[in-house]
Amino acid sequence: MIKAMFKAWASALLCVSLSVEVAASPTIRERTTDLRALLTDPARQWAANTTVSFPGSTNFENATERYSIFNQPTYTAAVSPGTEGDISKVINLAKSYNFPFLARAGGHGGANMSDFESGVSLDLSKFNSIVINSAAQTMTVGPGVHYRDIFDPLYNAGFYIQTGSCSCPSVIGVAIGGGVGRLMGKLGLTTDALQSVRLVGADGVVKTVSATSYPDLWWAIRGAGANYGVITSATFKIQPLSNNNGGNAFMLDFVLPAEKSLEYLNIIEKSFNPMPVNLAGIIVFNWNSTHNVSQVVSDWIFFGTEADARKTLAPILALNATFITATLPWNRIISVSGGGSDALNCVPNKLRNTFNLNLKTYSAAGWQQSFETLTDFLQKYPNGRGSQVILELFANNATAAVPSSETSWPWRDVRGFFQELFVYDTGDSVTAQGAATYGSQLRSQFAAYSGYSTPTVFVNYARGDERIEDVYGADKLPRLAQLKQKYDPNNLFAYGHPIPLSYP
């Protein structure tokens, strides 16, 4: 029965942690270009392995697939380049012929993109190489590489790296927006593992960007990278599994009824505040369709031995619950934990309406209020009972140890993430309105418990209606805007969560 309960978790994790989409906006004149004629003109001289596609074809559907279809962009054409030169060609054509394009890596951007209309999808799926250098302890990947693609190659080579909570986002897409996950306490953000990237800028020129090459741009792309170009490859520092219990972790999964929620949440606030460096918890409030009640679903991962895990998790193990436990190798944590729901979490083209916040303080009272408010929504809107609230609770030792000045990512003190995920059918205006009302209410309610003075959210989890200061940080924005003016003065990359050309 408990396995069946976990099925309700199938869409719980916000895989938008997932990736940032890079978009270009026409700003000079009205768009009148016939994109089909332009892109199929023999004068383009596309590389043999570059594909140009249009609506109605399988290639086009694959090149425009998206994790969430909520307020999604619309496309007239897609280009799937096989070379960096053809990426440059698309950028230069967009400037010359004034059409918008959206660079697509994992297709997991969750921002409102409804203002992107009739543009070109610059699909990067063909840049899918993985190169592991064991001697240098590095991994180089293209933007078409998803987390699921690196687990086995890294593990088999004796290494691991910090990742998000789902297997489907692009590794690079996650990294340039920060990259949060269960290993924030031990290894920091995914962006902290970056060593260099190859980037095609607004000028169409390919650049190697690192601490010693374009160091100002290097600072900007680690937290706001979608605003400065299209990354074609990235090299990351990887860690030996021997430094992490041989790559093994202890998993503890369970489900609690609504009447046990406050007791459990109080245990978390009292006993795991701050979170131990090698522990991570994901708690989901959702609906049990078998019993028609709300419930609390939990997944805890401890990076260490089972004996140490049981000592650390003793306050939770004292609860009267049915526990699912296992020792998992690093490469199987995401596929097995949470009732093995990752495969369903990653089903694309679903309507997913999200409202999210950063979390600096742990508050059982705030969490309980959110549980009760969500329960009210689920009771009133039966067609929205796939909706959930998710708490990602992570240690931040290694994340906070990196000086704030090192990268543009502004939330080094964050200790977790509050996520609302509303799921309902396209065209269901009644549930959509309920989701909009309750989503805003929940976000506003919990902001008071978040530990921040304003409702902050990091860019990969941002919805698109937030103040820009609450996404990028008021202290980071002046420099980010200066670099935007320097590297993209015509505001070519201007959708999603755009950096302004001047600030304030």
pTM of the shown model: 0.95
DSSP per residue, 335-356:
HHHHHHTHHHHT-SSB-EEEEE
CB atoms within 10 A of CB 58: 8
pLDDT for 173 equals: 96
- CB of 84 closer than 8 Å to CB of 206: yes
Digit-coded pLDDT (tens) for 258-313: 999 999 999 999 999 999 999 999 999 999 999 999 999 999 999 999 999 999 99
Q: Are residues 283 and 146 in the same domain?
A: no
The reply to whether 444 falls in a domain is yes
Mean pLDDT rounded to a whole number for the chain: 94
Average of per-residue pLDDT across 154-162:
98
Domain stop point among 123, 141, 171: 123
Domain boundary among 96, 123, 150: 123
Q: Are 208 and 345 members of one domain?
A: no
Give the CATH number of the domain where residue 304 resides. 3.40.462.20
pLDDT tens readout for residues 330-345: 999 999 999 998 998 8
Q: Please tell me the total count of domains within the chain.
A: 3
Tokens describing residue 256: 């609690």
pLDDT-above-90 percentage for the chain: 90
Q: Do 440 and 384 belong together in one domain?
A: yes
Domain match, 235 and 270 both: no
CATH of the domain at 105: 3.30.465.10
**Would residue 77 count as lying in a domain?**
yes
Q: What is the pLDDT of residue 23?
A: 59
Same domain, 108 and 155: no
Kindly state the average pLDDT of the residues 484-491: 97
Work out the pLDDT band at 106, boundaries 50, 70, 90: confident
User: Do 352 and 447 sit in the same domain of this protein?
Assistant: yes
Structural domain including 49 reads 22-123
Do residue 438 and residue 402 come from a single domain? yes
- Judge whether 144 and 105 are in contact, CB under 8 Å: yes
What is the longest distance spanned by two Cα atoms in the chain?
Answer: 71
Domain annotation covers residue 383: yes
Residue 28 has pLDDT above 60, yes or no: no
- Note the pLDDT tens digit of each residue in 409-442: 999 999 999 999 999 999 999 999 999 999 999 9
Backbone phi, psi, residue 249, to 5°: -135, 155
Distance CA 450, CA 439 (A): 16
- Amino acid identity at 398: A
Residue 32's pLDDT band, with cuts at 50, 70 and 90, is low
For the residues of 3-46, what is the DSSP string, one character each? HHHHHTTTT-S-TTSS---EEE---SS-----HHHHHH-GGG--
255 and 320, same domain (yes or no):
yes
Mean pLDDT over residues 456-460, rounded?
A: 98
Residue 281 covered by a domain: yes
325 and 255 in a common domain: yes
Give me the pLDDT at residue 30, please: 52
Confidence label for 19 from pLDDT (cuts 50, 70 and 90): very low
